[in-house]
Amino acid sequence: MRDPLPSRPVALSIAGSDSGGGAGIQADLRSFAFFEVFGTTAITAITAQNPREVTAVQAIGPDIVRRQIAAVRAAFTVGAAKTGMLFDAEIIGAVAAELGPRPPFPLVVDPVMVATSGARLLREDAVHALVSRLFPLAAVVTPNLPEAEILVGHAIRGVTGAMAAAAGLAQRFGTAILLKGGHLEGDRVYDILATPTQTVRLVSPRVSAPTTHGTGCSLSAAIAAGLARGSDLQPAVIAAKAYVHAALEACVAVGPGVWAMANPATLPVDAVRLEF
């Protein structure tokens, strides 16, 4: 009798396209592939960008975004999904409507608001839609420090302030919050994982990399990959942080003075320490 064909878990990225390949769905698909998860996509926007700047953004019609999600779900057994750049309230509404009030798989919401270059990737009037429509569906929300400051409405100072902010957001929204600490100063990077009942710190050495473009997309996609493989949230976050740490160490030159993260050969989970 013929052996059954091999199978793989499936993850869905609902995000924008980065023409430079460093972030967006391109980074998400690299993360999925590293964790041996089959990647599917629903593209929300097309950007003209490279690691230095975003020169144009064209949103995809909300109905087409919704139909992409529906087409994927009709054929694939989606184990987890992530959202990235959603751009406006209409797209957010379409995504929320298609996922439904209780998605049958965990959802990672990366609240992409502003590019590293300063370009606005989420309209200011869409923040409320993101918080009210998608946060309630999320297994985890992954803001960086500037995004967390928008959500809490004030500046966040140091690791202690980040812990308080993450815990407050977890209580406010009733879901897990991973506050990414790459913008904090110091030779170690503290990411804060908070649930309504517990707050922990994930610590790793800071990598002196020539670029950090795409770190947020890669991290949230790696978390979704872990969840699609059946991992619990905390180990999925630890593996994702280790992946980004190693991808920064594996940066490659791709043009004159232009660098990009690359998939590492191994996953250095020992580089991440959990502190309660």
Note if 41 is an active site residue. Answer: no
Establish whether 241 is a catalytic residue: no
Q: State yes or no: is 93 an active-site residue.
A: no
Taking CB atoms within 8 Å and a gap of at least 24, the contacts of 179-188 are: 179/143, 179/144, 179/145, 179/148, 180/142, 180/143, 180/144, 180/145, 180/215, 180/216, 180/219, 181/145, 182/144, 182/145, 182/212, 182/215, 183/144, 183/145, 183/146, 184/145, 184/158, 184/159
Catalytic residue among 180, 195, 226, 241: 180
Q: Which member of 47, 83, 175, 212 is catalytic?
A: 212
Q: Are 241 and 272 in contact (CB under 8 A)?
A: yes
- Catalytic hit among 83, 216, 226, 241: 216
Name the catalytic one among 20, 161, 217, 226.
217
180 is catalytic: yes
Q: Of the residues 40, 41, 142, 215, which is catalytic?
A: 215
Q: Which of 214, 241, 255, 257 is catalytic?
A: 214
82 catalytic? Reply is no
212 is a catalytic site residue: yes
CA distance linking residue 268 with residue 243, whole number of Å: 7
Catalytic residues: 180, 212, 214-217
